[in-house]
Chain A
Amino acid sequence: MPIGKFMMSGAGSRCAACRYLRRRCSKDCIFSPHFPSSNPQRFAYVHKIYGASNVAKMLQRVSEFERSHAADSLHLEAKCRVEDPVYGCVGLISRLQRQIHNLESEIAMTRALVMMYESSLDRRKGSANGH
């Protein structure tokens, strides 16, 4: 006998969103593929930042194939925002940009050192041949 998500209005088969919203989880619930009941925190984050109806609208705006990626990115952004209420994931973007800038500087300095060593090596070889 099929059980689980195919049962309607069963208390144990609602997705995390419908459990959170205390409503019946229908067969075509837009949230259920992306917010399983095993991970209630995932929906809690997106609900806190975006609200259920905004999340539903954003998921409806993309194709079914892309919805899981959209749900994942919404979850990640919401989690970042809960952890950093001022900057959210923009804080992470800033840190990555600074890291890139530092790495580029380090590479440039290291390349300059390589050139310095190579010219020192050439000079030494030249003076050794001269003697």
Chain B
Amino acid sequence: MGGNSPCASCKLLRRRCAKDCIFAPYFPSDDPHRFAIVHKVFGASNISKMLQELPIHQRADAVNSLVYEANARVRDPVYGCVGAISYLQNQVAQLQMQLAVVQAEILCIQVQQEPMILPSQPPVAAMEAGMMDGPMDHKSGLGGFLHSNVLPSQYLSFSSSSNVTTHVESLKRESLSFLGHDMVS
């Protein structure tokens, strides 16, 4: 900014706005509130030091985030941005629980569906992994279902935690031993 039009910072600080003023690109004179709020929270000299430590191409983002933080601090003098962080972390925790519930529903449906599809499922490669005793259709049906494209294997690791995958594997083992007792006669 030239001497004719000081930037918002130099106006507030009542000083001459030099051609190479570090604030001028980010605090235009048409938005005095922007600099006023960061100056209130951080102070002009701290802002200047922070900007000087950054390469030029990152300064605009830095200023925007400082303005955001300063606004949050003025709105909430006790918690500032940390209030928003706590709120978002709670939301994440709730959504993770919801996801776990829905994924458990999928597993329940799988268990319900297996007896229904046993007669029609062809043998699948899963049997050869050593999980089955022999190529009997009902057993292969179970393994086949769990490895079929109804539930792609990628989905088993779809969850954000490994618990679902572990649970699915234990369901497979339980179902196989159940079939071993009841189906072979």
Q: Which residues of A contact B (CB under 8 A)?
A: 48-51, 53-54, 58, 61-62, 66, 69-70, 72-74, 76-77, 81, 85-93, 96-97, 99-100, 103-104, 106-107, 110-111, 113-114, 117-118, 120-121, 124-125, 128
Contact = CB atoms under 8 A, between A and B. Distances in A.
B99 interface: yes
B92 interface: yes
A93 B72 CA distance: 12
Contacts, number: 128
Interface string B152-165: 00010010100000
B69 interface: yes
Contacts of B91: 96, 100
State which size class the interface on B falls in.
35 or more
Interface string B37-73: 0000111011000100110001001100110110001
Contacts of A62: 77-78
A106 B88 CA distance: 17
Given A106-B99, A117-B113, A89 B85 contact: yes
A117 B110 contact: yes
A97 B85 CA distance: 10
A118 to B, nearest CB: 6
